[in-house]
A and B are shown apart, each in its own frame.
Chain A
Amino acid sequence: MAGFRIIELAAPFLPIMPEIELPYDKLPFDDKVVYTILIGLFYIFSQLPIAGINTNGITSNAIEGDPLYYLRGIFAMGPSKTILEFGLFPIVSSTLILQLLAGMKLIKVNFKNSQDRQLFQSLTKIVSVFLYIILTNIFIATGYFGANLSLLSILLINFQIVSMGIFTILLVEIIDKSYGFGSGIMCITVMNTATNFVDNVFGVASINVDTVVGGNYTESRGAFINLTQNLRSSRFSLIGGIVSAFTRDYLPNLTHVSIVALIFFIVCYWQNYNMEVTIRSTRTRNINNVYPIRMLYTGGLSIYFSFILIALINISIYVFLNITHLSNKYYVLENNTLLIPKFPFNLLTPPKAFYPDLFTKQILTLLILPIFIIITSCWFSLQWMNISGASPKDIALQFKEQSITIAGKREQAIKQELNNKIRPAAIAGGLVLGGIVSLGELLGLKGDAAGIVVAVTSGFALLELVTIEYQQSGGKSALTQILGAPGGKY
């Protein structure tokens, strides 16, 4: 096994794996904007229902309930039983975990060698495809797509989910290979979270709620639209209508939406926390400048990591309980849609609501979930700080190339000094983001807290890239001339 490396596993798949070609030339600003917006194509497909599900004569919870409800927001999964069932989860987890392993030298990759880079990239894609296949089949086995499926339906379901998965992988790759801004995962997450937010506030789709509240009623999905409807409807009194709009738990309510908005504002505020390090040029005297070190140094990736772990653990529990036929005993179906685990298995499940669910059914979650999220996100931040392209070592090298030094430090001490400054930043970022996400989840946001945190941090990164690109392209953009924007958003 001396010369064997894990990335070699990808080699046989190289010829059959579809790949996006790098653009021949640097794309103009307008094209990039169009490509980035077209990521919305994703939505056209994410809503299509899966064909081949057998819903007849089922009594178990498995077919009706959705055990992944708290992961749908953050991993851009479509609604339950649609062809984008697993969303970006396989892609995000394979990318993040493989990069982490490579960074920790558990997988040996020489990123300076272009063949190695290509192998690693293909390995990531192949692992994502395999994850799609594995997830689909274990969910088929648990009866999520219906009992007594014929071989044809099993193949059909596999085909739909996996081909959609490959399509999504390629869609992400288009953006990654500099046709768009930033990374594809980032763009899709921002778009998905923004859409969900608009949907939760102003969504006009009316949904039949008779199974939940009794009687023959429909309510709008959007919390704000629902409030205005309640005020006019004869079903509620004035006060009752307002209270219902704030407290209904089967669809987004106003409390939910306002907590999400509050987290948005807080993370926007934190995003601009930075520590300024005074730097000066070694060539010219008396010119001091500042180099900002952000508090959210690793951004929302740490939250992604925590949720990947939570997802893996909870999916394993789900599969284990189904294989041992305990799922009817340990899962309860709430509101006809959410499949919620019972006591020993719900420690890492974000509760459905702050009150009464958190206190009556899963009080231990109050302790375990925050500890888990904060520890994993801090650990990840610390690891990522050394792996990512902005590690202290890289920045020190950059400084050296541009003949910059930190004021009052010798050139040799730069790396150490940067490490001393960046390490606390990574810890602080992991702490505050982990803290706010766990607080939000405990308040019953069902995964939206994590979604909004990741979306805001990615959104800022995107905005930064767009601004830089815009300034470089100058006034050549036809789009901005039409829209009449004088100088970017800043």
Chain B
Amino acid sequence: MAKSTSSASAGNNNTNVEKIVSGEAPLEFVKEGVSFISKCKKPNQKEYMKIIRAVGIGFVGIGIIGYAIKLIHIPIRYLIV
């Protein structure tokens, strides 16, 4: 147990492989991740809306710029092909 938590490096390969084969390590591994998630601080609704608005506007804005450039290309493609 102590080994698996101390380091993720490719050291103690043999013991790791044994654990993976026996199914003990993957379970422990997933447990570690899940317990982290449950301890996390989650954004509340107000924060979340604010984030979504900022990121959403940015994302769609960039998308529209990109699409505009792409649109210029439709006639060019027709001219070439």
Contacts and interface: CB of A to CB of B under 8 A. Distances in A.
B5 A269 contact: no
Nearest to B50: A490
10 A-B pairs with the lowest CB-CB distances in the bound complex, closest first = A195-B66, A194-B63, A198-B63, A424-B36, A427-B33, A428-B33, A272-B43, A489-B54, A47-B73, A382-B8
Interface in A60-114: 104
Contacts of A190: 59, 62
Interface string A150-172: 00000000000000000000000
A64 B29 CA distance: 45
Given A43-B69, A265-B52, A423 B59 contact: no
A205 B71 CA distance: 8
Contacts of A197: 59-60, 63
A198 B60 contact: yes
B70 interface: yes
A272 B51 contact: yes
Contacts of A40: 65-66, 69
A394 to B, nearest CB: 16
B64 A295 contact: no
B66 A43 contact: yes
Interface of A: 37, 40, 43-44, 47-49, 104, 190-192, 194-199, 202-205, 264-265, 268-269, 271-276, 292, 295, 378, 382-383, 385-386, 419-420, 423-425, 427-428, 430-432, 455-456, 459-460, 463, 489-490
A104 B40 contact: no
B63 A268 contact: no
A194 B36 contact: no
A427 B33 CA distance: 5
Contacts, number: 133
A269 B37 contact: no
B3 interface: no
A470 to B, nearest CB: 13
A275 B39 contact: yes
A272 B74 contact: no
B41 A276 contact: yes
Given A295-B36, A295-B40, A463 B55 contact: yes
B66 A191 contact: yes
Nearest to B38: A428
Interface residues of B, number: 47
Contacts of A204: 71
A292 B69 CA distance: 39
Contacts of A273: 37, 40-43
Interface of B: 5-10, 29-30, 32-37, 39-43, 47-48, 50-52, 54-60, 62-67, 69-74, 76-77, 80-81
A489 B73 CA distance: 31
Contacts of B69: 40, 43-44
Contact of B48 (A269, A378, A382, A431): A269
Given A194-B66, A199-B67, A205-B74, A386 B8 contact: yes
13 contacts: A43-B70, A44-B69, A48-B76, A191-B62, A194-B62, A195-B63, A195-B70, A196-B63, A198-B63, A271-B51, A275-B36, A378-B33, A423-B32
Contacts of A419: 6-7
Contacts of B60: 194, 197-198
Given A272-B51, A292-B41, A427-B36, 16 more contacts: A47-B73, A190-B59, A190-B62, A192-B66, A194-B60, A268-B48, A268-B52, A268-B55, A271-B51, A275-B39, A295-B37, A420-B5, A427-B33, A455-B59, A459-B55, A459-B59
Contacts of B42: 269, 272-273
Nearest to A383: B8
Nearest to B74: A205
Contacts of B5: 420, 423
A276 B54 CA distance: 23
Contacts of A202: 67
Contacts of B33: 378, 424, 427-428, 430-431
A48 B8 contact: no
Contact of B40 (A37, A44, A275, A382): A275
A50 to B, nearest CB: 11
Contacts of B36: 275, 295, 424-425, 427-428
A386 B59 contact: no
A192 to B, nearest CB: 7
Given A104-B10, A383-B8, A203 B34 contact: no
A432 B34 CA distance: 9
B35 A424 contact: yes
A49 B81 CA distance: 8
A1 B62 CA distance: 50
A425 to B, nearest CB: 6
B52 to A, nearest CB: 6
Contacts of B48: 268-269, 272
B27 to A, nearest CB: 12
B58 A489 contact: yes
Contacts of B10: 104
